[in-house]
Each structure stands twice: as C-alpha cells, then as structure tokens.
Structure 1
Amino acid sequence: MDTVAILKAFNESSKNTLMETLDIEYVALGDDFLTAKMPVNSKVHQPYGQLHGGATAALAESVGSAASNFFIDSKTQFVNGIQLSINHIKSKREGVVFATAKNIHKGKTTHLWEVRIVDENDNLISVAKMTNIVLNINKEH
C-alpha cells in the first residue's frame, strides 16, 4: 500500500469541496485507521471564538466516509454516511485538531467507525460514531 499516493489522492479529491473550505487535510493512514487534520481558526469558529461543533462534525464525517473507501470496490460501489453521533468534550480556540477513524464493524452493506478528535497536545476534543452504507453504482447515481 503506497500511503503517500493514497493520501495525495484523497487530498486532491477534496478540491472545491467542504473539506477544502475547512482546510481539512488527510495526513496519516495505517492498516486500521485514517487521520485528517484541520486548523482551528476564525474560519471554523462559532461566534464565541471557539471551534464550532458543526466544523468538528464535518471533520469526523469526512474522515469516516473516506476511510470506508478502503473496504469497497470503487468501480461498482460507493459510500454514503447515514448516521453521525458526536460528543464534544473540550473546547478549542486555536491550533490544530486531528480526527482518526478506526473501524468498529465492516460489513457488506454497512461500516461503523469511531472517530476520535484530539488537539496537537493529544487532548480529547470530541468523539464521534459514524455509520456508512455501501451502495452499488447504477445509472441513477
């Protein structure tokens, strides 16, 4: 597995998407995880100057969805997120957060992910659980 090439492909596929808007970048890949990072600045703040929970959720869903692509045949299948649950543990005003998705269940039609979001000091910021559905590509999609 050429992790550098895979991460580059994921980052290139983020052009002109929400991931690019939020400066989300895929940075690490292993046999059982995918990690992305996002800077914490005014672009992702809520009005009180803290990391917006919606931006954190977008980060979690992005990395959880991307990770499912390793377990499908992308020529005949695609993945859609169908459920996201997230708990925000600690606030963050500046710096960087890292989201790491680890698989809990990889079935033929559903994948379940735990996504832990930590800051650059390894402080737990949020924990998410995400479910993806695996669908077959047809003329309607």
Structure 2
Amino acid sequence: MDKQEILQKFNSYNKDTLMETLEIEFVDVGDDFLTAKMPVNSRVYQPYGILHGGATAALAETVGSSASAFFSDTTKKVVKGIELSINHVKSKKEGEVFATAKAIHKGRTTHLWEVRIVDEDNNLISLCKITNIILDKK
C-alpha cells in the first residue's frame, strides 16, 4: 500500500465519529510517524474563543492511537489508549494545528508515543504523551 492509500484508509475510519466532528484529517505517514491536522475554528473553541484543550487532547489521542494501529497487526490485535498527558504551551485562535506522533517505545504489549502539536508556522502548541495497550482480539 502506498502513502496515499494508507492515508485514505485512515481517513475512512473518521466517518460518523468525533474525528469527523472535529474535522481531523490524516495528512502524512512514514516509517516512524503519523501526522493529522485539525482546523481551529468555533467548532473547537473554549469560551474565550481559543482552541479548547479537550479538542487538542482528542487530536493527540487520535493520532497516537492510530499510529499504534498502523504499526500493529489489527487483524489480530486491538489498540486501546490507557494514559494521555498533555501540556498546552501556546494558545491558538484560527488556522490549523498539526499533530505528529513519533514512537518512544513500541513493545509487544505497550506503545509509548510523543505527540507534538504545532501550528502552520511550526510553533509548539501542545506536547503530549500517550500510552497504548496492544491486546489480542477476542
């Protein structure tokens, strides 16, 4: 499968989900990373008219969990997030944010990812860490 087919497959999973509501779109994938973007608009605002930390966390969990799925045999395994920590370092009012997950650890049963969320100018918006457990399908 080439890069565009992989991204198309991931984006097809977004239908009728929170990812569709937040307009999250997978935009790049490589041997050791996965990137998604999300528009910053009133749909993802908190009451002060800036990007909501919960929407940012949803983006981070989406790309981190999807990265684990990409690097796992999902015909036999299921990926579940078990911990997410996130530090918000800069606010954002409009435009887009990009979340890139890179593996810190890819074990047999756990994956640990760093997810950097940046804006269009590569300014750091949030820094996240997500731990996923990789379980056998029943």
Instruction: Tell me the number of residue pairs that the alignment of Structure 1 and Structure 2 aligns.
Output: 138
Q: Residue in 1 aligned with 2:93? A: 93
Q: Residue in 1 aligned with 2:55? A: 55
Q: Quick one: distance in 2 between partners of 1:71 and 1:118?
A: 23
Q: Residue in 1 aligned with 2:82? A: 82
CA deviations 1:33-87 (Å, max 9, x no partner) are 1000000000000000000000000000000000001221111111000000000
Write out the 4+ residue segments of structure 1 that deviate beyond 6 Å after TM superposition: none
Q: Residue in 1 aligned with 2:23? A: 23
Q: Quick one: distance in 2 between partners of 1:67 and 1:112?
A: 10
Q: Residue in 1 aligned with 2:39? A: 39
Q: Quick one: distance in 1 between partners of 2:42 and 2:114?
A: 27
Q: Quick one: distance in 1 between partners of 2:133 and 2:10?
A: 19
Q: Secondary structure of 1:92's partner?
A: coil
Q: Unmatched 5+ residue regions in structure 2?
A: none
Aligned identity (percent) is: 70
Q: Unmatched 5+ residue regions in structure 1?
A: none
Q: Quick one: distance in 1 between partners of 2:54 and 2:92?
A: 13
Query: Over the residues paired in the alignment, what is the CA RMSD in angstroms?
Result: 0.6
User: Which amino acid in the other structure matches residue 50 of structure 1?
Assistant: I
